Structure 1
């Protein structure tokens, strides 16, 4: 069941990422070794300073450079050894009303939320890049399973991610690599507060009321990620686990 001494790549690991930071802290508490990934080295070092373990490393990288992902992962393995899993928490978020959507916006959402996930999966699953029993976990969204007004691009990118997880799970089962997704709805924290400020008080309250159990906390998402990485879920693959306070049940 333990993830102790296992090596995981965690994207979106900057200290100002509510979910990414919570995932790093959870895995650190459980004894894992982490490769912290994000565009900003200083923000990654801030995360590193909040962790107890001494074997974590920082690897600044812009996942929009899709063509470089394979070589970058290969170099990480060369330096730190084969990996036991991946958590792709990096995400591009925001609103995209149809009246103002541009081709550039489409690429912004798809490059990080979907295309980078595909390239990471392909890179990590190559021979000698992973250890037996590796587990890949992607942070999706309830928006990928239920349309949301003015969030067309975000919802579409997360729906594509869910579909990718199902297909990759089938293809990689022969290698004993598990592939799963965790799909939160609104998660409490700085990003949620920014969203509520954009929506205004009335719409914000409606959105909160759409979560019968209340908003999830970043730690709730991190606990589910731990479950999917560990042997507790050793026979689970190709699933999208909702951590949404009942949002999708409404």
Structure 2
């Protein structure tokens, strides 16, 4: 049997309407998983579904995950349809690059609500016996910005650092429930957000960013493939780790 297979596993993915979340959805479906895809934009979620392996079954949750009051009820409904959850990837995230003088308490709250709190709230729900499979794996998408300093990213870096450290505590606590918890820290990945950023900062600054990645800018599937590993039985002895996938960015 292929230890990297996700056959008969149900995976819930936030941020599934674009970028890394969409790529994770596609790669998990190729490995045989059935999916619950979460995002705010229903049309974009349906676009993701159109890209999945045809044999993969998928449900969508078009909700704002920061509104946590009714989240459990919505998840419970989808678990009834799809089966108990074997894996969870928290891809949803927001990033703002602003000088410190333009950071505000509202900015910190907005970023932490999506990048940290919503993911941990969903993990809390999915760790309950009535929703989880016998063995589960949770994966949080962090960032190299949570490990190395970058100008203008105080709020974003702080949120991604919180993900890395929070994952370690979750791993220690949830292992007794047969749940493994890990994070992945990518550097710059080729997504529409990056394309837009390059347009805004110009060619010279863009080339400087590219040069900081010895192996070049990554693709969303590079991160998605790592998620597949951490969700699969191939990683059954891995928990509490932060897997850095950054093309060499952080070793300099």
TM-score by length of 2: 0.94
Q: 1:117 aligns with which of 111, 116, 119?
A: 119
* Secondary structure of residue in 2 paired with 1:245: coil
> Which residue of the partner structure matches residue 82 of structure 1?
84
TM-score, length-scaled by structure 1:
0.95
- Does residue 4 in structure 1 map to residue 3 in structure 2? no
CA gap 1:54/1:175 in 2 versus in 1, 3 angstroms: closer
Q: 1:131 aligns with which of 114, 130, 133?
A: 133
| Structure 1 residue ranges (4+ consecutive) displaced by more than 3 angstroms after TM superposition | none
Q: After superposition, what is the alpha-carbon deviation per residue over 1:108-163, rounded to whole angstroms, capped at 9, x for unaligned? A: 10000000111011111012211122000111100010111111111111000111
Unaligned runs of 5+ in 1: none
Residues 32 and 56, structure 2, Cα contact 8 Å, conserved in 1: no
Q: Measure, in 2, the Cα distance between the counterparts of 1:110 and 1:3.
A: 30
Task: Write the deviation string for residues 149-204 of structure 1: whole angstroms up to 9, x where unpaired.
Answer: 11111111100011110000000011110001111000013221112223222222
Find 2:72's aligned residue among 39, 53, 70.
70
Contact 1:70 1:119 in 2 (8 A): no
Distance across 1 between alignment mates of 2:104 and 2:225: 37
* Distance in 2 between residues matched to 1:53 and 1:64, nearest whole Å: 31
State the shift of 1:237 in Å.
0.3
Is the contact between residue 66 and residue 115 of structure 1 (CA under 8 Å) also seen in structure 2? no
Cα offset for 1:94?
2.1
Aligned to 2:145: 143
> Could you tell me how far apart the structure 1 residues matched to 2:194 and 2:148 are?
18
**8 Å CA contact retained: 2:24, 2:221:** yes
Q: Who is 1:19 aligned against?
A: 20
SS in 2 for 1:162: helix
Is the 2:144–2:250 contact (alpha carbons within 8 Å) kept by the matching residues of 1? Answer: yes
Corresponding residue for 2:210?
208
- In structure 1, the residue matched to 2:227 is 225
Q: Distance in 2 between matches of 1:43 and 1:217?
A: 19
Q: What is the aligned length?
A: 248
The CA distance in 2 between the partners of 1:229 and 1:90, in whole Å, is: 17
Q: CA deviation at 1:54?
A: 4.7
SS at match of 2:160: helix
Greater shift, 27-36 or 91-100, is seen at: 91-100
Q: Which residue in 1 is equivalent to 2:35?
A: 34
What residue ranges of structure 2 are gaps of 5+ in the alignment? Answer: none
Q: RMSD in angstroms over aligned alpha carbons?
A: 1.3
Residue 219 of structure 1, CA deviation: 0.9
Residue equivalent to 2:164: 162
Q: Higher mean Cα deviation, 64-73 or 227-236?
A: 64-73
